[in-house]
Structure 1
């Protein structure tokens, strides 16, 4: 699996972006949000039980991510038409404010190394910086949904450029290595 420090792979995929007639689909590529922070996350399959809780969780934090200059992009192996049908049929997904990409040929999932033994993507999330370098990677078991709030917290920490202790949250002080060393030497 690709991890922190690796370049996020190049891709070009069709995505379901809306339920509005004539505007349902768009092509998304590695260049779409070039120069910005990106949150890419994969889920195993549409029409499942844990997945919509994650998608709605990311959707609820969309404005928070956008305020930090980050774009959310989700993907699975399902086609853009399956994504559209799922969004249309699931009340919590109808107004999703981010694209749902269709990796039906498993190209992005394979390049990321996140295909499970069962051939479907693991629950993976990646924070990718403006230079397209992975700065945070998270994978959970299929039965465990991710916490989008933790992904946002990690983005906040990365954007400080400082050292952030465990459980650090936005607005708190970062660690000062010089002060810590001085305290140890005293």
Structure 2
């Protein structure tokens, strides 16, 4: 599995966004950073139960991520057309206005090392990637437990301080300042 310090693969993948038109071959190039952080989160499969709660949770914080110069990217191993249909079927998902990577060839999930071999879908993996496309944080949950988007935002805040942040640190609190011996 790729981890902290590894480069995010520079892949061009199908992507789906919005509900106004059928997917028409749109892609995203993960090698492009535009000076932004990336928060890439995978869910196992569209039209399931835990996944929409996570997607809606991230969507609620989309502006907070943008305020921190971070681009939110969702992904699963479904096709762009399945993403489109799922978004059209659920108002909360229709309002999740960020790109959804359609990794149906499992190209990115395989490279990241997050495929559940038994189920053939991605684990609930979250990657925080810096503007140089270097992975700075990784969390991976099994298929049955959702994650906490607010915790992802807290970790992004801590990473962006470029300081030593203690356990449970939140923005506005003191960072650690070790004294020289």
User: TM-score by structure 2 length?
Assistant: 0.95
Residue 39 of structure 1: aligned partner: 39
Measured against aligned partners, the alpha-carbon deviations of 1:69-92 in whole angstroms (never above 9, x if no partner) come to 000001111000000000000121
Report the secondary structure of 2:26's partner residue. strand
Alignment of 1:1-186 (within 5 A): 1-21=1-21, 26-117=26-117, 118-178=119-179
Question: Residues of 1 paired with 2:120 and 2:143: CA distance?
Answer: 12
Contact preservation (8 Å) 2:79, 2:102 = yes
Tell whether the 8 Å contact from 2:23 to 2:80 is kept in structure 1 after alignment: no
Q: Work out the number of aligned pairs and report it.
A: 180
Q: CA deviation at 1:103?
A: 0.5
Query: Structure 1 residue 22: deviation in Å?
Result: 6.6
Equivalent position SS for 1:177: coil
* Alpha-carbon shift at residue 30 of structure 1 (Å): 1.1
SS in 1 for 2:143: coil
- The SS at the match of 1:92 is helix
Larger radius of gyration: 1
Shift of the alpha carbon at 1:19? Answer: 1.0
- Alpha-carbon displacement from aligned partner over 1:43-95 (angstroms, at most 9, x marks no partner): 10000000000000000000000000000001111000000000000121011
C-alpha contact (below 8 Å) 1:18/1:24 kept by paired residues: no
Q: Is the Cα–Cα contact under 8 Å of residues 18 and 25 in structure 1 kept in the other structure?
A: no
Structure 2 contact 23–84 (Cα < 8 Å) conserved: no
Q: 1:164 to 1:43 in 2, by over 3 A?
A: same
Gaps of 5+ in 2: none
What per-residue deviation string (whole Å, max 9, x for no partner) do you get for residues 79-132 of structure 1?
Answer: 000000000001210111211110011100000000012211000000000011
Consecutive unaligned residues of structure 1, counting only runs of 5 or more, are: none
Task: Please give the root-mean-square deviation of Cα atoms over the aligned residues, in Å.
Answer: 1.5
Q: Shift in Å at residue 40 of structure 1? A: 0.5
TM-score w.r.t. structure 1 length? 0.92
